[in-house]
Structure 1
Amino acid sequence: MSHRTAVVPEATWVARWAGSLLCLVVAGIHVVDQGGITATRDPSYIGIAYHVLEIAAVVAAVLLLLGLVRLGWLLAVGVALGPLVGYILSRGPGLPDYSDDIGDWTEPLGLVSLAVEGALLLLSVPLFVRSLRPEPRASGNIGD
């Protein structure tokens, strides 16, 4: 008799929904921060990065909801890590042609963003790693 613990489908479903919602919140925060969906931040590479992040977040959410977990969790990791790195760089040393946020570590929307991205990172990394493991095969033997 095996003592393996099976993954509860409901737990996986809840994690996928939570990941999807966190991705959409990341996208929403960045839409608000840039001034709307059609607005683009200056310099242009920052604005483009915002749009890429927002699209990636929506795609990750859809992938997770469709059950394409390996790609969904991998993209969710990027959706979490990208803005975290951007926050540190923009507030620390600054970015080329972008020094407005240097030293502004306590901006309220930035802190909310960090919390959401941190939660998404903590959720998505272990689930992505788990998605890389091969699925156990059913042996067909009674008691296995």
Structure 2
Amino acid sequence: MRSFVLDRQAFTLRWVLAPAALVAAAAHVPVIGPHLTEAPYMGVLFVVLTAACVALAVAAMVRDTMAVYALAALTCTLAIVGYIATRLVAFPMLADDVGNWFEPMGVLSVGSEAIVVVTAGLAFRAVGGRAQVHDSSGDGSPLPV
């Protein structure tokens, strides 16, 4: 038996999630170079985040499974938490970011990441009524969720 987590959902939500993930990726590209120079650890994290957002956008368009929505939500939530953390606490080599809440690329990235998180949440809500849990008695009968 296949899990609904890996089944294609064919949501129209992918048409929101994919562009938002691409905008999040694009918003990080201009700051990768400066961060690789000033704070290499953050520059590398931006490279990883950019690649992840592009991969998730492609995955959402090719096969929009609940696993894709879950990974997109996790990735973008962590990015938002990272943004908030760097605005509240002085990170090594990034002390000048503290209090700089309205840096244009930061606002763009957080906004697009928030759209990804909300869209993924809507996808989870949509499957909530369709998901079933099978009991372990062995007869395969579904239990309501």
8 Å Cα contact 1:69-1:128 kept in structure 2: no
Paired with 1:42 and 1:48, the residues of 2 have a C-alpha distance of 11
1:91 to 2:104 alignment = no
1:31 to 2:41 alignment = no
Paired with 1:31 and 1:93, the residues of 2 have a C-alpha distance of 23
- Residues 125 and 94 of structure 1: CA distance in aligned 2, closer, same or farther (over 3 Å): farther
- Residues 41 and 130 of structure 1: CA distance in aligned 2, closer, same or farther (over 3 Å): farther
8 Å Cα contact 1:22-1:116 kept in structure 2: yes
Shift of 1:131: 5.0
Aligned to 2:61: 65
Shift of 1:122: 0.8
* Most deviating of 88-97 and 49-58: 88-97
Residues 31-50 of structure 1 mapped to structure 2, 5 A cutoff: 31-35=29-33, 40=36, 42-50=38-46
Q: Which stretches in structure 1 are left out of the alignment for 5+ residues?
A: 1-8, 136-144
Paired with 1:134 and 1:106, the residues of 2 have a C-alpha distance of 40
In the superposition, the TM-score normalised over structure 1's length comes to: 0.73
Paired with 2:127 and 2:29, the residues of 1 have a C-alpha distance of 30
* Most deviating of 57-66 and 94-103: 94-103
Q: Deviations over 1:27-68 (max 9, x none)?
A: 0000022249xx835322111110110111111111111124
1:113 to 2:109 alignment = yes
Output the amino acid matched with 2:131. Answer: P
8 Å Cα contact 1:63-1:71 kept in structure 2: no
Output the amino acid matched with 1:88. Answer: I
Q: Which stretches in structure 2 are left out of the alignment for 5+ residues?
A: 1-8, 133-145
Residues 67-82 of structure 1 mapped to structure 2, 5 A cutoff: 67-82=63-78
Aligned to 1:22: 20
8 Å Cα contact 2:33-2:43 kept in structure 1: no
The share of aligned pairs that are identical, in percent, is 28
Residues 124-143 of structure 1 mapped to structure 2, 5 A cutoff: 124-128=120-124, 130=126, 134=131
8 Å Cα contact 2:87-2:97 kept in structure 1: yes
Paired with 1:96 and 1:131, the residues of 2 have a C-alpha distance of 42
Paired with 1:108 and 1:43, the residues of 2 have a C-alpha distance of 19
